[in-house]
Amino acid sequence: MVNTATHSLEQWALWRKLLFRFFGVYLLLYMAPLTWLGDIPVLNLISEYYGKAENWLVNLTNTYIFHVKDVLVPLNGSGDTSYGYAQLCFFLLAAVVGMVVWTIVDKRKNYDKAYYWLLVLVRYYVAMFALSYGLIKLFGQQMIFPSLSALATPLGDFLPMRFSWYFIGYSVPYQFFSGAVEVVAGLLLLFRRTSTLGAFVAASVFLNVMMMNLCYDIPVKLFSIHLFIFSNFLLIGDVKRLLNFFVFNKPTQPMTRLTLPTKWMRMGQAVLKVAFVGVFLVMPLTRLFFDSRSSKGSSVSNKLATGFFSVDQFQGNVVDSLRWKDVVFERNNSGSVQTGDTLFRQRYRRGYFSYALDSLQHTIAFKKFATDSLPLFTMHYTMPDTNNIVLQGRIRNDSIVVGLKRQKRHFQLAERQFHWLSEANR
């Protein structure tokens, strides 16, 4: 372990102090440690007011300085919205201003202890997201196997992101493997002795994630780039040792590490680590485990049908673009229609819907989303047999009759084919 008394006398070069001040401000703003426990009562108030203050500053600087967009689109599942770029600009500006002010008021010789604690924060930040993304992949809940509606969609209609999503979701073992590597990276980063190896694994994992996001237009580009950079930031302190070992074939010395001086500090560190593991590993793992069991054990009741149905009959005063070409009923109470009708939730030239079935009244209520209280329209149904369905009702005040006939569509992709022995190029 390092002798802190001797180590604290080391004079940092000016360029090194400037870089530390800049990245110290930027990293703290980006990671926002005050928001990490936003799901915990009382502490969530800190996260809420911090978020409001940041939002106000980002919009203020965008209005008078950056002009990314007149009205910023908030982060909405996409991390690459106009707000995301305005936020990035604000963080960079704040880091430059913070570095200048810090340089004027602070004349200390080095930032050994501050650098140590900054590395700890970055290490746990990367571990937090490596664990969260890794765990949902372990249970196959991030990318899903293509649905019947997706299988019925022409390949050329998919956007690159959806195409890549189905590519990973198609193979449960591959998704499990990728998730396991992320979890391993997160676990290694939790301990100082294995943190260098963990940073290596994390940098490799997030390099792949970053390239997928950039190459397949997945809207988490800014975030994945940061995770990759943060993983490499953890390796900067070991760069000489790593170059000696991997490049110059020279012996290396153990990494000097700061030791907390008092027993209560070391105990506090251990308590915080246990709390972190509980909040970001044990609790999510338990929740995912029970969610997975409940989803497998639950069965959808009041379901009309499952499968691919062609439209053999469509009667109604409807333009050709709104006519139904085929209908897919999924294994749950949802499905899709090949139609350009914007009454449905449109995606890849198909209209997606959820439905509620009343088997006593023989009615099916079509909804845009499962949570909608009011249906888009309701139709009466009859089933002469399991292969035929007739729907009758009113859509936009037009009387519609739809005759559906089950088709035995054969999707080779759904067979999940695998061969050790392949005699020809498939």
Q: Which pLDDT belongs to residue 323?
A: 93
120: left (phi over 0), alpha (psi -120 to 50) or beta: alpha
DSSP string of 264-310?
HHHHHHHHHHHHHHIIIIIHHHHHHHHHHHHHHH----S----EEEE
- Each residue's pLDDT tens digit, 129-155: 999 999 999 999 899 999 999 999 999
Record the tokens describing residue 363, joined without a space. Answer: 């009615």
Quote the CA–CA distance of 355 and 368 in Å, as a whole number.
Answer: 8
Bridge partners of residue 403, in order along the sequence: 313, 390
What mean pLDDT is reported for the chain?
A: 90
Number of CB atoms found within 10 A of residue 17's CB? 20
- Each residue's pLDDT tens digit, 65-94: 999 999 999 998 888 999 999 999 999 999
Q: Is the CB of residue 222 less than 8 Å from the CB of residue 79?
A: yes
Record the tokens describing residue 161, joined without a space. Answer: 């992101």
Q: Is 17 helix (H, G, I), strand (E, B) or coil?
A: helix
Confidence grade of residue 4 (pLDDT, cut at 50, 70, 90): very low
Q: Is the CB of residue 112 less than 8 Å from the CB of residue 8?
A: yes
Rounded mean pLDDT of 164-171?
93
CA-based radius of gyration for the chain: 28
Contacts of 286 by beta carbon, 8 Å cutoff, 6+ apart: none
Quote the CA–CA distance of 132 and 195 in Å, as a whole number.
Answer: 18
Q: Is the CB of residue 237 less than 8 Å from the CB of residue 122?
A: no
Q: What is the DSSP secondary structure assignment for residue 350, as one 8-state letter?
A: E
Q: Which pLDDT belongs to residue 3?
A: 43
Q: Which pLDDT belongs to residue 8?
A: 55
- Each residue's pLDDT tens digit, 300-327: 568 899 999 999 999 998 888 899 999 9
Q: Which pLDDT belongs to residue 219?
A: 93
Q: Is 329 helix (H, G, I), strand (E, B) or coil?
A: strand
- Each residue's pLDDT tens digit, 198-214: 999 999 999 999 999 99
258: left (phi over 0), alpha (psi -120 to 50) or beta: beta
Burial of 173 (0-12, 13-18, 19+ CB in 10 A): exposed
Alpha helices in 152-238 (DSSP H): 160-170, 172-189, 195-215, 221-233
Q: Which residue bears the tokens 């079509």?
A: 366
Domain positions in the chain: 8-294, 307-408
Burial of 422 (0-12, 13-18, 19+ CB in 10 A): exposed
